Chain A
């Protein structure tokens, strides 16, 4: 799918959330965002925030690494965690972030630069109930982004 503006990226994020929200009652939903600087990862997270009914402005977590936003809407309540792995190099850094403790049914986690930890994800999420949606964002022509996604249990 191609988006032509940050707004369209946000709208697509809402749509992808709707497609995958089933099971949020007994699972933690994780959006693993892959993409270079400036491909719209934070915009995508803003879209997820909107889908969850979060009023607070979703801002880049690059500096503080994790930002959290509690949410409550008609269907569900939980905490939306927005994580930035831009600065993470060694896989064990992921464990240090304490991500396992954030994984609870009903919570939603968006991880920017998720590709950086792919090799230890199985270890991190071992025996936890999660649904992971991999989202790839790419630069195309000026202003255009190619966004593709796939989910696995």
Chain B
């Protein structure tokens, strides 16, 4: 059997400093140093704190990834790094580190799109499989649903590496809508987990919030109208009446409207493109209600859904970058001139990285 490539991957696209070692599609280590605690008082990512924290932790995170995987830098076959999309000054930290390692150890460098990482995160395999894994044969076309703090996208893959964005948000991302509504309700950051926890015991029919883009023909999303509708409702109710039950009901009603909007577009994409396989990725996929609704629709259409084997692969991490890099390695898509590799804060899955 041919030896699978051993890849060190780095991701510093936003508030996580992450490094991972992958062997083929197998995740040997996946280290994430989260800045959420640093940013919590501010309700979000703060730029110079982000850059400083990345610089402070990157070496330790890379070393830990190697130690946990029980590998040495000398034995890896390539270094991969996220080029974008993300916060420019954060991306730079990871790119500089990757270049430094690639030069010092004379390793090929692979530039990866963060969103391709999310898309392929379901293909990652655990280091110690508890049961025999079936061999993975993706059936194309594949429909990807990527929902995170900065992105909401429906992507069609005709093969790995060839993507078409079917729909995306026209304004706020789904995760951002969670954060902003949480802020309006005086809850903490990040808003997603807090709202979904509250929603568990809430009445989703209590508040009638508009399901976004319900009459819109495209596969695009829009959450800013829902955000404003929430603002009007919350204001009308007044601070005194906002007790615990109100928070639960409001969270459930908001979550319902947002998820319905995503499910509606997801269903529409299935009807138009007849995918043979669905891949889910991004931090908001952590939302159980969303996942259940999506799986139900897929089941009705008899389309298998792949979800990452660990929750750590939903949110930003470097192992998913390693998976995308693995396929690039097989296609021999290496950076030609290491010095010229640059950050691409607005990178899109449709644009080739070269």
Q: Do A and B bind each other?
A: yes
Q: Is B130 an interface residue (CB 8 A)?
A: no
By a CB distance below 8 angstroms, the chain B residues around A89 are 42, 46
Segment among A11-19, A25-33, A56-64 that sits at the interface with chain B: A56-64
Instruction: Encode contact with B along A77-106: 1 for CB under 8 Å, 0 otherwise.
Output: 000000000111100110111100000000
Query: How distant is the Cα of A69 from the Cα of B168 in the complex, in angstroms?
Result: 17
Q: Is A42 an interface residue (CB 8 A)?
A: yes
Query: How distant is the Cα of A42 from the Cα of B231 in the complex, in angstroms?
Result: 16
Q: Which of B72-89 contact A (CB under 8 A)?
A: 85-89
The answer to whether A87 and B45 touch across the interface, beta carbons within 8 angstroms, is yes
By a CB distance below 8 angstroms, the chain A residues around B179 are 62
The answer to whether A38 and B47 touch across the interface, beta carbons within 8 angstroms, is no
Nearest-CB distance from B158 to chain A (Å)?
A: 23
Nearest-CB distance from A52 to chain B (Å)?
A: 15
Query: A87 and B44 in contact (CB under 8 A), knowing A59-B170, A64-B86, A64-B345?
Result: yes
Query: How distant is the Cα of A37 from the Cα of B232 in the complex, in angstroms?
Result: 11
Please classify how large the interface on chain A is, using the bins under 10, 10 to 19, 20 to 34, 35 or more.
20 to 34
By a CB distance below 8 angstroms, the chain A residues around B175 are 63
Q: Which of A29-68 contact B (CB under 8 A)?
A: 37-38, 42-43, 57, 59-60, 62-68
Q: Which of B203-223 contact A (CB under 8 A)?
A: none
The answer to whether A42 and B171 touch across the interface, beta carbons within 8 angstroms, is yes
Query: A66 and B44 in contact (CB under 8 A), knowing A38-B224, A38-B228?
Result: no
Query: How distant is the Cα of A97 from the Cα of B179 in the complex, in angstroms?
Result: 22
- Interchain CB contact (< 8 A) of B47 among A57, A65, A67: A65
Instruction: Encode contact with A along B222-239: 1 for CB under 8 Å, 0 otherwise.
Output: 001001100110000000
Query: How distant is the Cα of A67 from the Cα of B87 in the complex, in angstroms?
Result: 9
Instruction: List the B residue with the shortest CB-CB distance to A87.
Output: B44
Query: How distant is the Cα of A51 from the Cα of B45 in the complex, in angstroms?
Result: 30
The answer to whether B88 and A66 touch across the interface, beta carbons within 8 angstroms, is yes
Q: Is A127 an interface residue (CB 8 A)?
A: no
Q: What 5 additional pairs, Cβ within 8 angstroms, besides A63-B173, A69-B346?
A: A37-B180, A60-B224, A66-B345, A68-B346, A88-B47
